[in-house]
Chain A
Amino acid sequence: MRRAASLLFATLAFVIGGVAVERIGLAADQPKSKQQAKKEQLKKFKAKQAARQKAKQAAKRRAEAEDEKASAAKPVEPPKRATPNPSPAAAVAQMIDEHIDRKLAEAKVPAGPAASDDEFLRRAYLDLTGVIPTAAKTRAFLDSTDPQKRAKLIDELLASETYGKHQADLWVPKLFPRDSANRFVLREPLAKWFADQFNADTRWDKLVYDLVTASGTVADNPAVTYYLANRSVDKLTDTVTQHFLGVQLQCAQCHNHPFNAWKQTEYWGMAAFFSKVQPQNPRNPNRGGDAMQVGVRELPVKSRLRNFFPDSAKDVPPKFLGGPEPKLASREPYRPELAEWMTGPRNPYFARAMVNRTWGQLFGRGFVNPIEDMGEGAIASHPELLDALTREFVKSGFDVKHLTRCICASQAYQRTSKPSGSEADPALFARMAVKVMTPEQLFDSLGRVTGFDRQMERARARAPKRPNAPTPRDQFVQFYLAGAEQAHPTEYEGGIPQALKLMNSRIVGNPAAVRSIAPPGTKPAEAFEAIYLAALSRRPTGEEVTRLKEYAAKAGTPNEAYGDILWVVLNSSEFTAVR
């Protein structure tokens, strides 16, 4: 019913003063007695409507053909990039530790001890691949006597497919707002594009250049999804400056920023680079629209997309943030100019923003916080180290895996998250922060232990599915985020509904999961170890074994006891912690 109604709405809708309002008072006064007259009227109305539609489409085709002709000019050459020249990871790690240790010494705070193997293993897995290790992997790592095993693990995880998937989980929510305007825009192709780029270790300057200059259809170039999901100059300006340059410009959209020097003209100067982008409106897949064939072009003229320019928009020439106005011919594309300036080795924001973000992902806090607010007045906890890592990142050819490898190899990253003595300022990095799993990490990790995600996927494969229907993982994530875009890295943000779901739904209370971890007949001590290795990535302590034995002795059957213990472990704060 509602679908039929919205279909009708779509055909009847037109615009009064920028507000979509439906056709008002159409044939308002119908003669009630004359059925025939009513039918006639409807027929006439439909014919008129169809004719109008046809004329509109023809006009649109003409305009598009014109643009096509104009934009078929020479393709833009991508910028020349310097050959990568990374320093050895161990040397960079040492440099990191010198800086961190100097600050600790100045503050007279002792550095915490190194992380145990189990802490390191679980942390590296969650930070680099977004999921906990399997029990078998944990056992092998803990039992290995190879002195290089930590460095080898970092390399192994950076080379795994899940590395890119995890990075996509972190990036897509920043660039793809979950709002009603995007309900027919596909999220999946962008997620896959990011995963592939990160797995291929595409240079960060190239990745962002490709994203900012993206044209074509989703099928040809999934990066255009960024434009399809942000169909106005202000959204594009906000996301680009915030996520790639680490500068919060939004406030300058409507007024000069009260706390720093950003002026409205800076904002609209940046926005002007996007002024000729023409993303197509999404097509409803439930009505046969092919969302893969929707695309983005840069026109030789201002974009014609409705609502692409907000009312507050100021018409100013393109101007780099805090920089000059480039000389641009109005028919030349603007985006390559912007992308080249943004991702250039001398851009004051670009590399720094990525270094701060990468550090923040791994440590739960950046050198500058909030992570994406590095503009004027921002104070870095370790300014020299931030500068040095930025130089190394540029020198390495904007190599994100290299940067990550260097940081993970440092003693600072490999410290325990247990506090020793009194609590020091977390900005000193005397110990690793205890982070909290993101909803994606929680879903994947619960799935690794219990296999519930595969059950849900199977059920979904059997059920008839609407195009663009959310996956079980997507639903779980939405349920956890409850409208927020992304979770806070070090805070437990679940509410009562989330706790109820974990305690009482079949996600955790799945008898098959217990049987696969500790099959009937498993001796108690072995079962406890198997459960702890599978869920907590460690062996139980002697004290814990004693406690669990006491518990099992009182429970009904051994299997019931193992089920209880798995339930307890999965509902514990330790499970959701990235320690």
Chain B
Amino acid sequence: MFRSEKTRRDFLRLSAAGVGTVSLSGWLKVLAGHTASEGSSPSARKHKSCILLWMDGGPSHKDTFDLKPDSKGAGDFKPISTSALGVQISEHLPQLAKRMHHGVLVRGMSTPEGAHPRAKYNLHTGYREGQGGLVYPSLGAIVSAEIGDPKAAVPNFVSIGNRSFGSGFLGPKHQPLIVTTPSRGVEDLKAAVTDRQFANRLGLLDQMEKAFYHEYRAGAAVDHKTTYERAVGLMKSKEAKAFDLSREPSAAKEKYGSGRFAEGVLMARRLVEVGVPFVEVTLGGWDTHQDNFARVKSLSGQVDAATAALLDDLKDRGLLDSTLVVWMGEFGRTPGINPTGGRDHFPVAWSTVLAGAGVKGGQAVGKTAEDGMTVADHPVSVVDFLATVFSAVGVDPSKENNTPEGRPIVLVKGGTVIKELVG
């Protein structure tokens, strides 16, 4: 049935390209205006956004958002009260504690994978690595495909600080634009020659593309042109300034703290402001097999400052109601302490945090047992969690996408949205 689908699509596109005359004059317009502001302004934008704060390595629930001071292996961290009634979190997250009325703690995470690569894959895609012989798209690629503006100047999926997981069978159009070092901006974004020379080159390229298309009328030439227009558009766009952190006033910058993660979170806010629907920012170092407490304390400080500043800024700009902030890693860590003063991998019971985009803040959903070893109430699986995230940003998790071979693949297979959280 869908066997012929792909063929038909090719055929239609080629026919359309052959019959109509496709305009190939985009660049010169772009260059003349010097700004390609096809990205929508915050007031005009229709879609929601998502910022994923990815805690690489897997943070311990007992040292962050689900403290068990009287249990074995609790450590010295004290729980403190928060702006959410009856919800306590770590003393090393004091600023977040004051903003807890925006946030929801999901304390019943329980997931199947206990090794880093497979768990990261699972939490990013909702599927197990290798399942069904496919490479599955990650959260960001799905959001890009579902609600991203295909003509936007800035790509619809930006990943800051690591390679992240790509677009899988959705194809390269939805793969992340990767920013390795936020202070240096986007790789290869600036032309190697002067503006004038670059404009001349594009003028010549435009002529060449027209001639080639006229002769061969290949569908691929149209896609090539569209992609180049978007890339040039990004280079020249005012939205690209979102990648330039030197434009941020230093007082505003300082609130986020210092270091790559702080800069990445700041960049994420700037990107959401220009309409980017999905930004992932990575904070590594959570794989605390040794020396857990000193390291978690330092990491908590980074999370606390940057996330608190992010929530404030989003709120001040009227963007918190349309921006979902997700805090998660690939699993939790053992409630007990190993002989080297660390905690090991533990996917059985752990925590994630959501805020913004209309989730009902100021509560903790689910709980773990007194020793933190098991989920005592409201267990949440990977697919439940991802279904909730998608619903919160306005994507239907039961939607199906076709692979290039025509296999229908549902965005999230069998998850149940956490009702307590979403509208």
Interface residues of chain A, those whose CB is within 8 Å of chain B, are: 1-2, 4-6, 8-9, 12-13, 19-30, 38, 41-42, 45, 177, 179-181, 183, 232, 235, 238-239, 242, 248, 250-251, 253, 259, 365, 369-370, 372-373, 377-379, 417-419, 422-423, 425-427, 434, 436, 480-485, 488, 490-501, 503-506, 509, 543-544, 547, 551, 554-556, 560, 564-565, 567-569, 571-574, 576-577, 579
Contact = CB atoms under 8 A, between A and B. Distances in A.
Nearest to B194: A556
Contacts of A564: 197, 200-201, 204
Given A41-B339, A42-B340, A564-B197, A492 B224 contact: yes
B166 A568 contact: no
A468 to B, nearest CB: 15
Given A504-B192, A573-B218, A567 B201 contact: yes
Contacts of B197: 555-556, 560, 564
A436 B223 CA distance: 11
Q: Which 5 A-B pairs have the closest CB atoms?
A: A25-B336, A483-B166, A180-B117, A22-B344, A28-B336
Interface of B: 1, 3, 6-7, 10-11, 14-15, 18-19, 57, 72-73, 112-118, 121, 129-130, 132-133, 135, 137, 155, 165-169, 171-175, 177-178, 186-193, 197, 200-201, 204-205, 207-209, 211-213, 215-221, 223-225, 227-228, 230-232, 234-235, 284-285, 287-290, 334-340, 342, 344-348, 373, 404-407
Nearest to B177: A497
Contacts of B121: 179-180
Contacts of B72: 25, 28-29
Contacts of B212: 572-574, 577
A2 B112 contact: no
A485 B135 contact: yes
Interface centre among A12, A496, A556 (most CB of B within 10 A): A496
Given A2-B287, A496-B155, A509 B192 contact: yes
Contacts of A251: 407
B338 A26 contact: yes
A496 B227 contact: yes
Contact of A250 (B133, B175, B227): B133
Contacts of A425: 11
B344 A12 contact: yes
Contacts of B231: 496, 499-500, 503
Given A29-B72, A485-B135, A503-B191, A24 B344 contact: yes
Given A423-B15, A555-B200, A565-B204, A434 B218 contact: yes
Contacts of A38: 339
Contact of A572 (B112, B192, B209): B209
B344 A30 contact: no
A23 B168 CA distance: 33
A426 B284 CA distance: 50
Given A24-B335, A423-B15, A495 B173 contact: yes
Contact of A573 (B112, B118, B193, B220): B220
17 contacts: A2-B57, A21-B346, A22-B334, A24-B346, A25-B336, A27-B337, A42-B339, A179-B117, A181-B117, A248-B405, A484-B172, A488-B171, A494-B227, A497-B187, A500-B188, A509-B192, A560-B197
A426 B14 contact: yes
A566 B205 CA distance: 10
Contacts of B225: 573
A495 B231 CA distance: 8
Nearest to B204: A568
Contact of B167 (A26, A483, A494, A571): A483
Contacts of B335: 24-25, 28
A359 B191 CA distance: 41
B221 A180 contact: no
Contact of B219 (A5, A22, A377, A490): A490
A191 B10 CA distance: 32
A20 B115 contact: yes
A548 B338 CA distance: 71
